[in-house]
Amino acid sequence: MTKLLMKQSPRINDATNDFLDTHFDTPDMEIIQDAIAQSHATHHTECVQGMHLIGQAGTGKSYIVEDYASNYPRYFEEGQEVVPVLYVSLIQKSTSYSLIARSLRKLTGLRRISGREEDLQARLSNRLIAAKTELVIIDESQHLTRESSAISAQHAADAIKSLMDETGIPFLCVGIDSSLDLLMGKSKFKKEKQLKRRNRRMYQVQPYQLGSEHWKDLMTQYQEVLSCTEDLTSDSMLKRMHIATSGLFGDLTPLFKEAIEIAGDSRLIDLKVLEKAYIEFQPQSELLFNPFKASMTTIEAEITHRLDAAREAASVE
């Protein structure tokens, strides 16, 4: 009889793990986190103010708010768990009920949450107060506005407003542009705008622009962390990296993760390694060429094409 040997689970390289554990300070992180802190500081005052943070997928919104939340970890005080900042990430097609239930689950660790929405909201309010929570972050808040009914989005906005009133805790909503329906209200409820009146200034995270100091600063951080034989801060590599990622912070980590895995023990990342990494990182790219293989003439032509497309889109708006 043949003895079956259990295979070891696959693992990524140690160098890859080290890279994934690295903290990067995005150029706009300090500005936005300072704004979050201003909202955070209004907890339990006579003027509690929430905040809205928007931006397209991949711009680093979640990275910024999760980093902020990590600065305020949970701890125990006289047997009671204190949760200074509660971070909640929503799932698709969320409603006011699922927002409340998910927040309660995240706060308490309970797996099963059931009951009427009104009762759950009262429980959540009491638990937030007991946990001495000072700020609630609702990530992926656009899922609260995906239902076709304007009433659904308004119910979610009303729930957030009520929780702020009941607890004295500001709420930070994070999402793509469509999440603004929470703040502004849909057509039927435009005149109410109740949540907007309880918020400070809205902030928007955008992709980094090619040629900007912010893009170069970000590439400098990666150059310092990685063993790149190619200078990521050179003019040609700044352009290639921007074409590959469209200036999205969220695309840099998966691209370099693939590059480190491909480089293996040598840990040396050159243009050939990045060329292979791009194929794995984005196998269904809309580009008709690999930005780490193409000539600079092709790269420059693509840059011009994108600039023209951006100008045309701006003129239409």
Domain spans of the chain, in order of start: 28-204, 213-311
> For 28-204, CATH number?
3.40.50.300
Q: Which two tokens stand for residue 294?
A: 């193409």
User: Rounded to two decimals, what is the model's pTM?
Assistant: 0.86
pLDDT at 169: 97
CB-CB contact of 26 with 60 (8 Å) = yes
28-39 burial string, b = 16+ CB within 10 Å, else e?
bbeebbebbeeb
pLDDT at 12: 84
Q: Which two tokens stand for residue 28?
A: 């706009």
pLDDT at 193: 55
For the chain (317 residues), the mean pLDDT of every run of 10, in chain order, is 71 87 89 96 96 92 96 94 96 86 93 89 96 97 72 83 95 85 58 69 92 95 90 96 94 94 85 95 81 96 90 74
d(CA 139, CA 162): 18
- The number of beta carbons lying within 10 Å of the beta carbon of residue 71 is 10
CA-to-CA separations, 148 to 93, 143, 145, 154, 185, in angstroms, rounded: 10, 11, 8, 12, 13
d(CA 259, CA 229): 12
DSSP string, 280-312: HH-TT-S-SS-TTTS-HHHHHHHHHHHHHHHHH
CB-CB contact of 200 with 239 (8 Å) = no
Q: Which of 59, 66, 73, 74 is nearest to 36 (CA)?
A: 66
238-257 burial string, b = 16+ CB within 10 Å, else e?
bbbbbbbbebbbbbbbbbbb
Edge-first strand listing for the sheet containing 51-54: 85-89, 135-139, 171-175, 51-54, 203-204
In one-letter notation, the amino acid at residue 226 is L
pLDDT at 187: 47
